[in-house]
Amino acid sequence: MNLSRRMAATAVLATAIAGTVALTPQASAATKAAYNGVCGSGYKVVNSAPIGSKGTVFLTYNSAKGRNCVVTVRNTTGKAVPMFAYLYVQGSDESAEDGGAYTSYAGPVYGNGRGKCVDWAGGIDNQSTWTYGSNCGSLKAHRVTKGW
């Protein structure tokens, strides 16, 4: 299949998927949200997951503090829509969630994740993605993700 036909087929497929639930939705490179730095100084992005075509949830880590932070960022700001950011530190009672109607981002939420696996998630409007047991005391990105 030549390149223009492949691009057209991809566009048709992307349009068809946009109205359905996908297990691993992907945002296009042209509209991918960027981490906005709201977790504070010293936090670096160690993992991320697209939330359909609506945005990205970012897992960050501050190695000096041993803390994780999660923030959900929309691709484009606009009218307030339901959004959330979620973090759970496995093997602890520690979890944090921020949810509400927001115009650009949800979070930040924090947890003490040094040496621990974390579950983290984000949602925008009617799409969400959940990552379970990731990073596990490592800055290496590892995901077991489910998107709805």
Choose the weakest-confidence range: 2-11, 63-72, 77-86: 2-11
pLDDT in tens, 85-106: 999 999 888 899 999 999 999 9
Cα torsion through 123, 124, 128, 133, rounded to 10: -30
Q: What percentage of the chain carries pLDDT values higher than 70?
A: 71
* Higher pLDDT, residue 48 or 1: 48
Beta bridge partners of 134: 118
Residue 3 — pLDDT band, cuts 50, 70, 90? Answer: very low
- pLDDT for the residue 139: 54
Residue 7 — pLDDT band, cuts 50, 70, 90? Answer: very low
**Residue type (1 letter), 115:** G
- pLDDT for the residue 135: 86
- pLDDT for the residue 32: 80
DSSP string for 80-134: -EEEEEEEEETTSS-EEEEEEEESSEEEEEEEE-TT--EEEEEEETTEEEEEEEE
**Residue type (1 letter), 60:** T
- pLDDT for the residue 6: 33
Is residue 146 within 8 A of residue 129, CB to CB? The reply is yes
- Angle at 101 (CA atoms; ends 97, 103), nearest 5 degrees: 110
Is residue 137 within 8 A of residue 131, CB to CB? The reply is no
pLDDT in tens, 9-54: 333 323 333 333 333 344 344 458 899 999 999 999 999 999 999 9
